[in-house]
Amino acid sequence: MGLFKLKEHGTDVKTEFRAGFTTFLTMMYIVPVNAIIMSKTGMDFGALVTATALITIFATVLSGLWANTPIAMSVGMGLNAYFTFGLVLGMKIPWQTALGIVFISGVLFLVLSFTKFRVWIMQSVPKDLRRAISAGIGAFIAFIGLKSMGIIVANPAVLVGLGDFSDSKVLLGVLGLALVIGLYVWKIKGGFIIAVVLTSIVAWISGMAPAPSEFFAMPSSIGPIAFELDIVSAFTLALAPVIITFLITDMFDSLGTLAGVGYRAGIFEKDGKDLQKTLEADAGATVAGSLLGLSTTTSFIESASGVEEGGRTGLTAVATGLFFVLTLFMMPLFSAIPENAIYPILVMVGVLMFSELSHINFDDIAISVATFFIVIMMPLTFSITNGLAFGFIAYLMIKLLKREFKDINLGVVFLAAISLIVFIVQ
């Protein structure tokens, strides 16, 4: 295994495969979860299951072979919700055009991965604002999860209110949420997928959802969604802010994940080559994913579970990707999972992302106000774009008012200007 330099990293084949299986268990949930979320756009559920499994295999194996890091990749939580509920259902953009937006942002990310722009933009944005973006997206997808479960419903008098807790489907969602939280607190490996399975079993036994008659079958065709993207329609001034939002959010999400997992594993410390190669794999996978009919691909924080098991090289990622081959044949099981067994995962992922707020310096009034607008406006406007726009504009305005010009750089001005475009063109 000279390709992965196992001895140099103090590991062996057995350890790497065990770590790969652990990562697989912790992020296996992404296949049914992503398929259910994106199918709300009208896209074929079976095709989405197959496409999600395929891009996870491709992206994760690519990451392992190209960058030699234990980083697994798949369709990003948050941006898939934004794709579905923000663009297609919210802005009424056809899913084909939305895929074109993902493709363009992926190509830009890929090109920029070979330049110093991504480093420049990351250094331009204060670390606390990056954390606020993560927290805001967490609040956004948690809100979507709660709404989809029926725990939060529309209320004409006060916009939103509590749902009907006498509804068995709502109670099923509450059970799923309790299981997800409990298993996470107990640090049970594969807790997300275990919670989905247990909640589904309750639904099957109680008759709330039909039980699967079989568990395995040949993969569904990706024909209904593959290569259906509309790039031409995505090339409009009105959609430019959305493209930039996908680009910047993917960049921040990837670098945040890689920093957390990488430093824990002791990688990315000697030089930036491994980091750059991992970002290149991430960007390449996003382009490939859009061709298959999927929203943005990104690095998964669940990779940390494999790192904790001793995974240190790309062999861990390759092993994870190979284990995901199993999900290609699990369509009957995935299609039988009730939606309220899935949506609690969104809420828990939102909670984990929201925890980034604990690291923010609220003594800086510009950071404090910008963070507030980012976190509150993403769920309230059902748009990551609007949340970013409010945050960047507020940050720049307060820094100017306080004459703290040393905290203002070209990158911040650039992002604030893009944010203004968001309001001008909509």
What are 338-389's pLDDT values in tens digits?
999 999 998 998 898 898 899 999 999 999 999 999 999 999 988 887 888 8
Host domain of residue 421? 363-426
pLDDT attached to residue 79: 86
Which own/partner contact pairs does 164-168 have at CB distance under 8 Å and 24+ positions apart? 168/206, 168/208
How crowded is the C-beta side of 258, counted as CA atoms within 13 Å?
Answer: 26
> Do both 77 and 132 map to the same domain?
yes
The token pair at 272 is 């930036």
> Do both 224 and 304 map to the same domain?
yes
Dump pLDDT digits (tens) for 167-194. 999 999 999 999 999 999 998 878 888 9
> Do both 325 and 367 map to the same domain?
no
> Do both 108 and 20 map to the same domain?
yes
Residue with tokens 């072979």: 65
Residue 308: exposed, middle, or buried by beta-carbon count in 10 A (0-12, 13-18, 19+)?
middle
- Provide φ and ψ at 58, rounded to 5°: -60, -50
> Do both 134 and 254 map to the same domain?
yes
| Paired strand residues for 155 | 159
Please check whether residue 269 lies inside any domain of the structure.
yes
Please check whether residue 75 lies inside any domain of the structure.
yes
Dump pLDDT digits (tens) for 112-162. 877 777 667 766 788 899 889 888 988 998 999 999 999 999 998 988 999
- Provide φ and ψ at 246, rounded to 5°: -60, -45
> Do both 235 and 305 map to the same domain?
yes
The whole-number average pLDDT for the span 413-420 is: 83
Q: Which of 284, 313, 330 is the last residue of a domain?
A: 330
> Domains in the chain: how many in total?
2
> Do both 421 and 295 map to the same domain?
no
> Do both 231 and 132 map to the same domain?
yes
